[in-house]
Amino acid sequence: MEITVDSSVVNSVIRKVREEGGFAYAATVKQAGQDFQSAEAAREMAWEQLHCGPWHDVGQAWRDAYSMACLYVAAFKVRKGELKEAMKIVDMGVIMGGEGLRRESDKAIREIRDALARNEEGKESGEERWNMGMEMSLPEVRHLLPFKSLLNNIVEKQSSPSMEKFLCDYFLVGSPVVLVDCIDHWPACTKWKDIKYLKRIAGERTVPVEVGKNYLCPKWKTELIRFSDFLERILSNECNPENRTYLAQHPLFDQIQELRTDIMMPDYCFTGGGELQSLNAWFGPAETVTPLHHDPHHNLLAQVVGRKYVRLYPASITEDLYPFSESMLKNSSQVDLDKVDTNLFPKVQDLEFLDCILEEGEMLYIPPKWWHYVKSLTTSFSVSFWWASKKSNECEPIHASDATTGDRQFSADNLVSDV
């Protein structure tokens, strides 16, 4: 196995980096194919450029430069037989780098994965399932949830409604609904319950995770860890909220395309001439929380493994939910629903809301701008499909590369890594 980069791609990246003033990188990377130290130096130069300012200001040239240097370094690791380290390095190029080297990166990942699989042949097989704990009664569930949960206005459920019914009764009027009997045919509904399957497909891949109670807490941080280590953290049943680990709003299915084949885009996402905006994974242990916030697009949240509680407030009462005044946090509420300060936020307890428990195999439609709070009741693996209608006036999302918000795209700004 040999990791290579086509000379035309190399020359294109070097030309673009020179246009950005990266003459030292250009000179160094020319030696990267024959000299490990040059490859490492080129990677470090590109890494520094990724951190020179806000993530959204990083040019495509330097992102591609980082991906290319990662491939050169990984090639040396492969030659030394350090396959797991090589996989990590290429993944860093995928996560932090640009699309210009994506074909080469995907090819390298496939070859490394196949080599690792050959090394594992003959070892223990079989399944290892998630432990979802004891089935809880409704009063026991309510004890874990915010005030007045599951008492009155439960989100309506519909079994595989027609596209016309979904359009007329929910999409056009902006009304949430739980859709059942829509994803039972997904391979993910069985495969993702098998921990060994997830380890085999993605165990050596590097993924970004969130650590802490939630993204509004001061001690919240992001880390890059192996997927297998992330699975072990879930299995350890860590109870301390400050150490709780969550793979949240990450484009996992773009990064690990074997998992993408386990799911299918629901037809409902084409409603309104829909165009998919993002496809993200939400995976973590019980009691992970996404605090009260709203998003700019139509959203189908598919619950593949486990159960979640979801509370929703309409956009019409936004001011009564005390959104942050800072522009980068304006889609998040200052109210902690798990511990409401009624002196600071007196209106909240009297507001009407919808809520539900989203069970395995169900999808929740969340219209644009509807505020929602989400809490996992068990180990949970969900998929969110964001889409915008062609004639929509929906605004662009606020990226966490600009600030820490409900739309938390991973970036170099808050990275904790040993790269």
Q: Mean pLDDT by 10-residue block, N- to C-terminus, for the chain (419 residues)?
A: 89 95 96 95 96 88 97 96 96 93 94 88 71 79 93 96 97 97 97 95 95 85 94 81 89 95 96 92 94 96 97 97 88 95 95 97 97 96 93 43 40 46
Distance CA 324, CA 154 (A): 27
Rg for the chain, CA atoms, rounded: 23
Per-residue pLDDT at 415: 52
Paired tokens of 47: 């890494």
Per-residue pLDDT at 416: 46
List C-alpha distances in Å: 247 to 210, 262, 309, 347. 6, 18, 18, 33
Q: Which one-letter DSSP state was computed for residue 132?
A: -
Task: Determine the angle formed by the axes of helices 83-96 and 60-79, rounding to 10 degrees.
Answer: 170
Q: Which one-letter DSSP state was computed for residue 167?
A: I
List C-alpha distances in Å: 165 to 219, 245, 368. 45, 39, 19
**3-state DSSP assignment of residue 97:** coil
Distance CA 231, CA 284 (A): 9
Q: What is the dihedral of CA 295, 322, 334, 402, to 10 degrees?
A: 50
Q: Which one-letter DSSP state was computed for residue 307?
A: -
C-beta neighbour count of 193 within 10 angstroms:
20
Residue type, 68: M
Q: Which helix (H) or strand (E) holds 114?
A: helix 102-120
pTM greater than the 0.95 cutoff:
no
**3-state DSSP assignment of residue 248:** strand
Please answer whether residues 318 and 371 qualify as being in contact, where contact means their C-beta atoms are separated by less than 8 angstroms. Answer: yes
Per-residue pLDDT at 405: 37
Task: Give the torsion sign (CA, 277, 302, 371, 230).
Answer: negative
Nearest to 355 by CA among 340, 379, 377, 333: 377
Please give the class, per CATH, of domain 138-414: mainly beta
- In residues, how long is the chain? 419
Distance CA 98, CA 90 (A): 12
Distance CA 99, CA 411 (A): 15
**3-state DSSP assignment of residue 374:** strand
Distance CA 64, CA 404 (A): 25
Distance CA 238, CA 241 (A): 8
Q: Which residues of 59-77 are buried (b: 16+ CB within 10 A; e: fewer)?
A: bebbbbbbbbbbbbbbbbb
Please answer whether residues 225 and 84 qualify as being in contact, where contact means their C-beta atoms are separated by less than 8 angstroms. Answer: no
Distance CA 394, CA 418 (A): 38
Interval 132-143: pLDDT, tens: 766 788 888 999
Residue 352: CA count within 13 A, CB half-sphere: 6
- Residue spans of the domains in the chain: they are 7-120, 138-414
Helices and strands (DSSP H and E) totals, the chain: 13, 13
Please answer whether residues 227 and 204 qualify as being in contact, where contact means their C-beta atoms are separated by less than 8 angstroms. Answer: yes
